[in-house]
Structures are given as C-alpha cells and as structure tokens.
Chains A and B, each alone.
Chain A
Amino acid sequence: MTKGPLALPVRLRRALYGALWAAPMPAWQLVFFAAPFALLTALSFWSVRNFRLVPDVSTAAWDWLLTTDYVRDTLLRTLAYAGGAAVLVTLLAFPAALAIAFVLRPRARAAVLALLVVPFFTSYLVRVYSWQTFLADNGIVNAVLRPLGLEVAGMLNSPFAMMVGYATLCLPLVVILQSMSLLAIDRTLIHAAHNLRCGPLRTVGAVIVPAARPGIVVGAVFAFILCFGDFVTPLYLGGGKHPTLAILIADTVKAGQQWPRAAVVALVMMAVLLTTALAALSFAYRRRGS
C-alpha cells in the first residue's frame, strides 16, 4: 500500500541518475558536432558580398561544386592519394606489427611500442618540414646516393614525397593498432595451424590476417581519414602542385573569403569520410561467410 506512492520517486530518481551519466556524450555531440554541422550546412547556402558573409538562400556554392571540373578532379586526386597512402601504410606496417606481436619478447615489445609513440612528441609540421631537408635535390638522401651514382632529382614536390609525408603522419599509429590486434589473436589457433602442417606464410594468410582483420581495417581507415583531410603534406611535400580538397578549402577562403564554397567542400569531405568509414567497418566486423 505504501509501496505505490514511493516507487515512482525511486524510479524517477534512478532514471535521472542514469540520464545524468548519459548526458555528457549527447551534450558533447550536440555542441561540437550537430550545431557546427548545422551551421556549416546553413553556411553553404549563404552569399559573400564585399568579403563579408551574408545570410542567404543561394545555391551558388553547390552549383560551383557540381559544375566545376577541377573540384571533381581534386576530389578524385584526394581519394587516390588517401586511398593509396592507406594501402601503402597498411602493407608497410604489417611486417613490423607481425614482428612486434610474434617475434619480440615482452620487454622488447614494450620498448618498441613505447618508441612508436615518440614521433608524436614532435609536431607533425616540424617532421614534415624536416623531410624537405632529406628530399631536396641537394638534400641528405642525394648526398648519400651521389657517391654511388644513384642521384635522384625531383623527389620533393612529387607524389612520392607526399607518400613519405603521409607515412610520417600515420605509420606509427597503424603499426600500434595492428600490433594490438595481432597480440589479441588466440595463440591456440596458430598452434593448431602449425599442428595441421600449415607453413608460416599460409598461417599468416589463412589464420592471422583473418583473425586480425578488424584491427588491420581500422588501422587503414584511420590512415585514410588522416590523409584525406591532411593539409600539411600536400603543401610542404607536394609543393602545392598536387592540390587536395584541404588545399582547395584554404584557397577558397584565402582569396575572396568564399566561406560558402569552403563549406560545400567540407560537407563533401565529411560525406566521403563517413561513407568510407562505415563501409570499411562493416567489412571489418562482417562474420565470415555472411
């Protein structure tokens, strides 16, 4: 009899307690994602008059996006570079992760993983700048190669230099992600493969890679996302000659304050990243045979 009236406040209190703990995440999303996203979308329909943004309902920026050939070219180039970098970094990282997970002893493994964090102590911009010293025609790489008669001209400001920059940006992170994923593999599976006379290569292909697929794909997705939006490498190692969407955004804003154009490019970038990330993650966590 007395339970009825008391039960409601308790339930209410519990609900409130739960809501309090759950609140920060949606609040964060609202303030730092939903609201800026709404503003960005609105901005894409505004106009610019005399270098100043004016609220408007104009589709000029969208028309520009859809009808301008170099915007499409830039999008395709950015996709190619970011995709290429993701594949390259994944391939480069895998042997290293394999060694960290299966060859090194625990103490050495801990030391190597700690060393992989060290590059993040220095600004990425500084690291990319220092690559210029290495890759310039009169740089360190050519100083080493010249006596061997192997001098390479034009390394800087090339797609090669950009791949070096992208690897600088995300290789350590991808190695760490892959290593974590490989370390989590159930060792009995590997022993079973060996017992069934599976050679080393086949063990990697048939057991380790499928088992570590989520980690490998998540690493590649991270690499793609970081490279797709990167501004520093295309500018300082690509020499601005191979412009990506991030450079295009800077260009539209730098000359004439074309924020609506920058907004539509940003929205396209978000759409591409979201689609790629969702597709990749659904592949990563897809059950075998489904």
Chain B
Amino acid sequence: MGAQDNRQPGGISRRTVLGAGGAVAGLAALGPSMPRIAGAKEPTELTMLAWYGHGEPDAVAEFERTFNVKIRPKYYVGGDQMLALMAQSPPGTYDIIHADAEYVAQLKEAGFLERLDPADYPFDDFWPELRRFDGHWFDGELYAVMTRFGFLGVSHNTDAVSEKEARSYRVLWDAGVKGRVGHLDWHLPNIACMSLYNGNTAPFDLTDAAWAETKTTLLSLKPQIRGIYDYGGLLSALKTGEVAVVPGIGDWITGVLARDGARVTTTIPEEGGLQFTESFSIGRGSRRAELAREFIRYALSPEGQVRQAMLKAYPALIPSRSGWKRLNDLHPDEAKRQRMALNGPNALDDIRRGRIHVRRLPVRQSLEDWNDLWSRYKNA
C-alpha cells in the first residue's frame, strides 16, 4: 500500500526517480574522466584569424579529424580590421593568419609573421604563373603561401547586361543601366577599375596626370549609381536585380549567387581585370607552428584545394595543378563554371595574356588620397 502511494501517475516510483537521478549525477561526476577511460585525447586547439568561412566545417572538419585538432577561428571584415586585431593581440594569439596579399606586406613589416621554409610547401605543384608570388617574398624569404585567388572585373546580371557588353568598363556609363550600377564599398578595386578603363597598364602606379584623369573618370560615373553597399547589401541588390552591373568584384560574390540560381556572372573586360590573392601565414610566436604548417600543407593538398575552391562562404580559383585535376574529377561542373579546365581555354589564359593585374596598395599616392577620392565620390 505504502509503495503504491509513492507511485507517480505514470507508474514511476519515487525510488526509480531517485535512482535515475543518482545515476545521472554519477555519470556527470565521472564525465571529465570518461575520455581518459576511453583512451581519447583532448583535441589541440589551433587559432586562426581569417575572412569568414575559412574556419567552418566544410573547410577544416577533415583536418580536425585527421590531426585531432580543434580550429578556433576569429573572423574579420577587411584587411584594416585584421591589422588592428593583430596590433591589439599579444604574440602567439593567432597560429594561422589568412590574409589578402596587399596586407601580407603590412603584417611582415609589423613583425607579425614567422618566416616559412619554402621546402615545406608543394610549390612545384603550382601552375608556373603562380609559383613565385612576389607579394609573399621579402628579401628572398617566404612569409605567406598562396592558397586561393580570383579575378575582379565587371559582375553583371546576364538579363540586363550581356557578356559581350561587359567586355568593356564602358558599359557602366551605358544609358540602359542608369541608376542600376552598384559598388562594393571599398576604394581600392573600384578606383583601380577606373584606372584600367583609362588605359593604365599598371592601375595602382599612377602619375599625377593619370591620377587626375582617374578622378575625373570616377566622378563622372556617379549619376549612374544605385548604391554603395557592404557585402550583404550587394548580394541582395544583385539577387533582386536592383543592381545590374558592379565593377571591381568577381566570382567570389557572383559565384555565391549563381549557386542559388541567380542569373549573374563576372566578365573580365578587355581593358583588364584585377586579381585578389589569399594566403595563409604562421603568426609570430605561435606555440603550435608545426600544426599550423600542417594545416597550410593540408590546404594545398588536392583534397584541401578542392575544399578551398568550393568554400561555402565564397568560391575561388586555386593555384595547385593536382587540385585542379581533383576538382575536375570530383566536381566537373564547378571546374567548368570557374574556368579551371585542364585542357583548353581556362582562367589562367587571362594571366598569360597580361589582362590581370594584382590588386595592391597605391604606389605613388597615399592610401589617404585614394580614400579621400572615394569619400568625395560618395558625396558627389
């Protein structure tokens, strides 16, 4: 009778409840020692400072499993923010640093990077055009290894602007796209596209006369402009069709939209396009430099390169030949879409024909001059 009184409506006795609670408490107490009993080792933590997406599972899960590592990414938006984060952090905070080429020089100059041994990385497997990227070598010593790159030109909605029309920056001034030209809010690629349109073969190295001409060209574009957007804003404006054409961006934006079925693409104009170059470096004072090196080697392995090419956050071209081969084997459609065909015309032809200029900081003017022009343009 007494035992029956103790029963809960569902037929569970107080003793059962207490017993289960005790078991849970016991398990919780054993918890911390469980992995040791099972013989598993706590994963080592590897810190990474990167653009969004580079520390996500699609990029790092396989490496984490193989090396029993947990990658802890800290994401930044823009090289300036990355430099500021580095300047504020004690040495050794970040094991792996992912950077755009124009900022590698700043990182090196500030003493934020470890010197790398070129023998550790498969440069022989790189396409010859990409084997020795100037922006990563300083006095004959290596500080960063290229893992991805991409071209910037004219990105456009194919319903509004044909590929043929997009083969010249002239299309930006076309009456048909008045009020439908957009910009990504960053002075460097936008001004460089104007410089290319003016026929400057070194778009970042401008004489005073060429600089004055570039200013005039840029300011003349303002009546065509729909908006000057951040990354998310531009994605949405291109997707809805509000913006028909955007200079100075590339497949890293249109590729993401095309994956979702948007009718957008990027064309490299005859006047030339720009190249962004992403790399991994090892942070000065890293206590896990060996593992960081392994990660960079993984990113350059054929499997790693395929993941780099197809990164969910944004796609890009890859420098390794075996990476191209593996991509063609596993994902022929993506290889074709990104023009990474092993035989026949491919993206490298643009470099070979001298149409691609590496994006860099201004040579003769200061960065403030370029930034001032951009602010003036926004205010025009």
Complex interface: chain A residues within 8 A of B242 (CB): 136-138, 156
Interface positions of B from 361 to 380, Cβ below 8 Å from A:
367-368, 370-372, 374-376, 378-379
Secondary structure dominating the interface of B: helix
Flag whether A252 is at the interface (Cβ < 8 A): yes
Flag whether A14 is at the interface (Cβ < 8 A): no
* Min CB–CB distance B352 → chain A (angstroms): 32
Q: Quick check: B187 and A157 within 8 Å, CB to CB?
A: no
Closest residue of B by beta carbon distance from A251: B375
* Min CB–CB distance B260 → chain A (angstroms): 17
Q: Quick check: A70 and B375 within 8 Å, CB to CB?
A: yes
Complex interface: chain B residues within 8 A of A73 (CB): 379
Interface residue total, chain A, C-beta cutoff 8 A:
32
Given A52-B110, A241-B227: A254 and B379 interface contact (C-beta under 8 Å) = no
Given A50-B110, A255-B80: A74 and B371 interface contact (C-beta under 8 Å) = no
Interface positions of A from 31 to 63, Cβ below 8 Å from B:
50-52
Q: Which of A74, A138, A255, A258 contacts B374 (CB 8 A)?
A: A255
Flag whether A253 is at the interface (Cβ < 8 A): yes
**Residue of B109, B367, B372 most packed against chain A (CB within 10 A):** B372
Given A52-B87, A154-B179, A257-B84: A241 and B228 interface contact (C-beta under 8 Å) = yes
Q: Quick check: A256 and B226 within 8 Å, CB to CB?
A: no
Q: Which of B21-29, B58-66, B141-149, B233-241 contacts A (4 or more CB under 8 A)?
A: B233-241
Complex interface: chain A residues within 8 A of B87 (CB): 51-52
Q: Given the complex of chains A and B, what is the CA–CA distance between A257 and B79 in angstroms?
A: 10
Q: Quick check: B226 and A157 within 8 Å, CB to CB?
A: yes
* Residues on B facing A (Cβ under 8 Å): 78, 80-81, 83-84, 87, 106, 109-110, 179, 183, 185-188, 225-230, 233, 236, 240-242, 367-368, 370-372, 374-376, 378-379
* 16 A-B pairs whose Cβ atoms sit less than 8 Å apart in the complex: A50-B106, A50-B110, A51-B84, A51-B87, A74-B379, A138-B240, A138-B241, A239-B227, A239-B233, A240-B233, A247-B378, A251-B378, A253-B80, A254-B185, A255-B371, A258-B368
- A sample of 8 more A-B contacts (CB under 8 A), given A253-B80, A254-B80, is A50-B109, A52-B83, A138-B240, A240-B228, A251-B374, A252-B371, A255-B188, A257-B84
